[in-house]
A and B are shown apart, each in its own frame.
Chain A
Amino acid sequence: MTPQAHIVPLFIILPLAGAFLTSLAGKRFKGLPDLLGVASTLGCLVFSLVAVRLVRLAGVLVYSVGAWRPPVGIALVLDGLASFMLVTVNLVACLVFVFSIDYMKRFTSKWKFTTLFLLMLAGMNGVIVTGDLFNLFVFLEIASVASYALVAFGTGKQELEAAFKYAVMGTVASLFVLLGIVFLYSFTSTLNMADMARVLAVKGPSNIMLLVSVLFLMGFGLKAALVPFHAWLPDAHPSAPAPISAMLSGVLIKSLGVYALCRIFYNVIGMTPQVSSLLLFLGALSMVIGVFLAIGQWDLKRLLAYHSISQIGYVVLGLGLATPLGVLGGLFHLFNHSIFKSLLFLNSGSLEYATGTRDLRKMGGLMHRMPVTGATNLVASMSIAGIPPFNGFWSKLLIILAAVQAGRFGYAFWAVLASLLTLASFTKVMKYAFFGPLRQEGKGVVEVPFMMRCAMVLLALICVAGGALLVPGIREVFLIRATDAVLQGLRYGTEVFRSVV
């Protein structure tokens, strides 16, 4: 174990410690939850940026928990893909928490919110850094249980119904994941992901792996809200408080769903043409059905939730292509989507905060009353619709180019079509909410407090500058490392064991 590897458990320890201290003393000292929340999310963000640098200098970092060497004990692994995901998750978490400082003032018992928020963050970071399959399940459940409770945080009629639906479906998904882990354990006699990759590479294909693939696709597909398994998302995401919607849509479905799928199918089981074509099909299906369902919505947050399904389709389509360009596009779109979708949900939260409604038909002409929200929403809308200088354009372009390059012209066509329909539906949002005449109800509306504006402006700046990640020089550090980690396939096992010694 190298001395640099001691950074890896910090991503779990920091938010867990924050959650523990908040639940212990947050009720008595009023400012403490905010302070602890900002400190631990900012700490995680700084450490994740350090981690990117460390991975560049030292390669894969492996931390053995309790000093038990990997095939026996639990290993925490930090490689290119993990450091990429850590930056994405902690960047969004930090900015969303800054937003929630002012937003959550309307709710009672804010310390409970902070505790659950940090627990969810600990679970997500744990899923990303763990190198042990059962440990992944444990962190998955920590993040999921915290998110069920957060969806129900408002304890209104709709929130409770959505949370129950989400909790039941999420639990069933976790059961499928656990069942898949049991079959994998009985086949390979190990729970360590790197060891499993080595054993499976020796054993070769078998029928039991087909069963395991189906179980994992169902389990993680449900967590990622791919189309046949998406029914919980349009209820759960709009019902949560806006910062939590931003976290759920922005990073939770990606770290628990897409990242876990990607890690297991590429690095542990090994990508097969069947799984690849299944992922392509599910991705294209989510992309098109999500956007069709989104266009007709009048509830702003519900519309955004359907767009999450559609955009996750793009990410899975890119990853399913299994070519270097496709994976690069998929991962870049994952990063971009977490930025602009969390910004859009924060904007919807600001609108709800200022006007008290989520119905687009009751808004109108708010551009002059809320200039910051309006401008940032315009930036995010153009990003998600794929208008050139913004980040969403570059990643969608990469995915479409990769589909054409791989000879999948049909999928490229559907990707272009879904992008046009996304543009149409966000034109509707801008027209009804921000442009047009100011309505009678909108006369008293004022711009939201400073902290909320601050978070939105920062996210909008990242949307504008996001395309710079593709510039040669920056690209190699951040995106190419993650793509290489995905594409190394089963060599993941040997890489991890080489850096243990």
Chain B
Amino acid sequence: MIAYILCLTLFCVGLYCILRKRNIIKIIVGIIIAEYAVNLFFILVGYRWEGRSPIFSSDTPIVDMVDALPQAVVLTSIVIGLATTALLVALAMRIYGKYGTFDITKIRELKG
């Protein structure tokens, strides 16, 4: 149970970081933290303590196996996260080049 609560805390830390921080880089870090919390939660959903890897053979009974699907799916999700992060960092670099600052309160060309 404690693992799930810690996972939720991690997600909330990430969301807080996205919503409250002013520095673009810190917002990107917040997104990464929240993303990892979701991935971790997906792994926890399929995990069994004291479980074993899901290899089928005729002489062992099918009990206490870790669900392998979330792990495969989370790998894909991590790769997607990498692409998003790379794009965000590239945008942050270009923004710094144009505005000379990472502070989002000073990056305000658009309004209305």
Residues of A within 8 A of B (CB): 134, 137-138, 141, 145, 148-149, 152, 155-158, 160-164, 167-168, 171-172, 174-175, 178-179, 182, 185-186, 191, 234-235, 239, 297, 299, 302
Contacts and interface: CB of A to CB of B under 8 A. Distances in A.
Contact of A172 (B34, B76, B92): B34
Interface residues of B, number: 32
Contacts of A191: 69, 73
Contacts, number: 81
Identify the 5 closest CB pairs spanning chains A and B, nearest first.
A186-B45, A141-B80, A235-B110, A182-B42, A158-B109
Given A160-B91, A299-B112, 6 more contacts: A134-B73, A152-B91, A164-B91, A171-B84, A172-B34, A191-B69
Contact of A157 (B80, B88, B99): B99
B73 A160 contact: no
A172 B80 CA distance: 13
B43 to A, nearest CB: 10
B71 interface: no
B110 A141 contact: no
A245 to B, nearest CB: 14
A155 B90 CA distance: 11
A172 B18 contact: yes
B87 A145 contact: yes
B63 interface: no
B35 A175 contact: yes
Contacts of B10: none
Given A141-B80, A157-B99, A175-B38, A168 B87 contact: no
Contacts of B98: 156-157, 160
Given A161-B95, A299-B112, A168 B27 contact: yes
A400 to B, nearest CB: 30
A171 B94 contact: no
A161 B110 contact: yes
A186 B34 CA distance: 19
B94 A148 contact: no
A487 B39 CA distance: 34
Given A167-B91, A182-B38, A185-B45, A161 B109 contact: yes
Contacts of A149: 87
A30 to B, nearest CB: 26
Q: For chain A, what secondary structure do more than half of its interface residues adopt (helix, strand, loop), or is it mixed? A: helix
Contacts of A299: 112
A155 B94 contact: yes
A42 B94 CA distance: 35
Interface string B34-62: 11001001100100000000000000000
B110 A162 contact: yes
Contacts of B70: 185
B45 A167 contact: no
A239 B94 CA distance: 16
Contacts of B87: 145, 148-149, 167
Interface of B: 15, 18, 24, 27, 31, 34-35, 38, 41-42, 45, 69-70, 73, 76-77, 80, 83-84, 87-88, 91-92, 94-95, 98-99, 107-110, 112
Interface centre among B87, B88, B94, B110 (most CB of A within 10 A): B110
B76 to A, nearest CB: 6
A68 to B, nearest CB: 13
Contacts of A158: 109-110
A160 B95 contact: yes
Nearest to B96: A160
A160 B83 CA distance: 17
Contacts of A175: 34-35, 38
B94 A138 contact: no
A25 B31 CA distance: 35
A178 B92 contact: no
B82 to A, nearest CB: 11
B45 A182 contact: yes
Nearest to A186: B45
A161 B38 contact: no
Contacts of A174: 84
Contacts of B112: 234, 297, 299, 302
Nearest to B32: A171
A164 B110 contact: no
17 contacts: A137-B77, A160-B91, A160-B94, A161-B109, A164-B24, A164-B92, A164-B95, A167-B84, A168-B27, A168-B88, A171-B35, A174-B84, A175-B35, A179-B38, A182-B42, A234-B112, A302-B112
Q: Find the residue from A152, A158, A164, A179 having the highest chain B CB count within 10 A.
A: A164
Contacts of B27: 168
A161 B70 CA distance: 35
Nearest to A158: B109
B83 A163 contact: no
A223 to B, nearest CB: 14
Contacts of B92: 164
Nearest to B86: A145
